[in-house]
Amino acid sequence: MTTVRRSLAAERGSLVSVCGLLGLSIVKGSVGWLTGSKALLADACHSAADCAGTFAAYLGLRRARLAPNAASSSRHPESVAAIVLSAILLVAGLEMGISSIRTVANGAEEAPGVGAVVVIAAGIGTREALIRYKRRCDSRCGIRGDRAGDNRSDIFASLTALVGTSGAVVGSWYDMPFLYVLDPAAGLVISVFVVRMGYRLTADVVRASNRTSIDDADVKTLLEAVQRIDGVVAVDEVKPQERGHYIVLDISIRVNPRISVFEGQDVANRVRRMLTKRFLHVMDVNVKVQPYDPGYPYKSNHQEEQLSSMLQ
């Protein structure tokens, strides 16, 4: 699978997740409003938070495909969108939390309808299907599990809403009004999740603006792979930059100073092909070729004939 096809497949998986989560948020919010379920309204906010994070990741993937060599320090649309959405989520989470606290303090007068329970249960199944679909797309594209960015926090929030709403409905069936408070209590717990997600989304944007490298273990693995390529005498620098779920590498290598420019370019092409094929999360590789100088950074006692043999 080529780089462009991998990018398109990853974008498609993210876009399907965005559309699915947006639909879930609208349905949950509408039914929660009609049934008066605080837990379902909070669950809708949590699905919207998950949608916001997935949408920011989708924009990052799209930018990585259209402009893979763009500077990471520039202000990108996904960063602006993430900041705006995180601010909205923080306000929505706080508002839902305050409303739930008031309902718990004053006492819930009625339980939500059975429709709220049905929608929450259906939403759990839909969300699990979206997660599995996106992970299949990411797996085919070579995105590692620790980079996928998907988790089941939305499902955990829905389970909390399901427990609270179901308890309130059972209270209405068996004439136990004290159970009505379970629904707004679940809404209060989920509102904390929403505020937490809004904070994490903002923190991720701030960290990403200053992040220019990946894990040291990954850099070491890439460095060792480049050093084993035929024609590479030394590797001066491996500078990775993250682009969504992928990375772009800036590599500086040194080659035999006696080879031609064409041969040096051929070595660079081998480095680029090997890295993009072996490491599927590598979007692109920019290779800088320089002649090897035995006097830098250390002096050598080899004679010219011995140096020539060593480089060949």
Nearest to 27 by CA among 103, 100, 111, 126: 126
pLDDT over 70 at 209, yes or no: no
For residues 179 and 61, which has the higher predicted lDDT (pLDDT)? 179
For residues 270 and 149, which has the higher predicted lDDT (pLDDT)? 270
Region of 290 (left: φ > 0; alpha: ψ -120 to 50; beta: rest) is beta
Maximum Cα interatomic distance, the chain, rounded to a whole number of Å: 97
Query: Coil, strand or helix: which one is 247?
Result: strand
For the chain, give the mean pLDDT.
78
Q: Of 160-174, 177-191, 229-243, 260-274, where does mean pLDDT reach its minimum?
A: 229-243
Average pLDDT over residues 178-205: 84
| DSSP for 115-168, written as a single string | HHHHHHHHHHHHHHHHHHHHHHHHHHHT--GGGS---SHHHHHHHHHHHHHHHH
pLDDT, position 298: 42
Average pLDDT over residues 38-63: 82
Q: Of 99-113, 160-174, 196-210, 292-306, where does mean pLDDT reach its minimum?
A: 292-306
Angstrom CA distances, 227 to 62, 235, 253, 292, 299, stand at 32, 7, 9, 14, 21
pLDDT over 90 at 222, yes or no: no
pTM: 0.64
pLDDT, position 183: 92
pLDDT in tens, 29-45: 999 999 889 999 999 98
Per-residue pLDDT band for 143 (boundaries 50, 70, 90) equals low
pLDDT over 80 at 113, yes or no: yes
Q: Of 39-43, 108-112, 293-297, where does mean pLDDT reach its minimum?
A: 293-297
pLDDT over 80 at 247, yes or no: no
pLDDT in tens, 255-290: 988 888 889 899 999 998 888 888 766 777 889 999
Q: Of 26-35, 149-158, 296-305, where does mean pLDDT reach its minimum?
A: 296-305
